[in-house]
Amino acid sequence: MMKYLLFLLLCVGCVSQQSNKQSPQGVYGIVTEIIGNQMPSPDLPKSATQGQALAATIHFFAPIATTDLQLNEHGLYKPLNAIQPIATCVADQSGKFRQALPAGKYSMIVVLKDGWFAHQSDGNTVQPVMIDTGKWTEKNIQVNYRAAY
């Protein structure tokens, strides 16, 4: 019975990934995490500044204004329970993610145990990403709230 359920789950996962790859537009990228001292040093290996792959959940919302969010004690955003994501995907163990979305502007939020992470803004919108009709947009995310520069 367990083998049957596992097989069924794998098939469903393959079907959802297959339809995601065939969608006309969306966003893809890699999530990495940078931790610790990142000050330039000849002794610091280059790989330390590039970060490690991070498996994480990513929510896509209608554009969220920077003024609508508050920071918590970790320097991350407090979750907004009043709004629901338009889409959600999970970056795999290598940090790769891919999400089909209708054309438009979105806010991308990385969900962490300590809060929501978004490190970019266009002055009005938190972690904006623009999806154009018929195009896939690359958006790499470096989670760096535990790094010192």
The CATH number that applies at residue 81 is 2.60.40
Contact between 116 and 85 under an 8 Å Cβ cutoff? The reply is: no
Domain count, the chain: 1
C-alpha 91/C-alpha 111 separation (Å) is 11
Checking if the pLDDT of 144 tops 80, the result is yes
Residue 23 falls inside a structural domain? no
Residue 17 falls inside a structural domain? no
pTM of the model: 0.78
What one-character DSSP code corresponds to residue 35? E
Residue 7 falls inside a structural domain? no
Checking if the pLDDT of 6 tops 70, the result is no
Instruction: Give the pLDDT mean for 52-72.
Output: 95
Q: Domain of 59?
A: 30-36+51-138
Identify the band that residue 48 occupies on the pLDDT scale cut at 50, 70 and 90.
Answer: low
Residue 73 falls inside a structural domain? yes
Contact between 103 and 64 under an 8 Å Cβ cutoff? The reply is: no
pLDDT digits (tens, 9 = 90+) for 81-121: 889 999 999 999 999 999 999 999 999 999 999 999 998 88
| Sequence letter at residue 27 | V
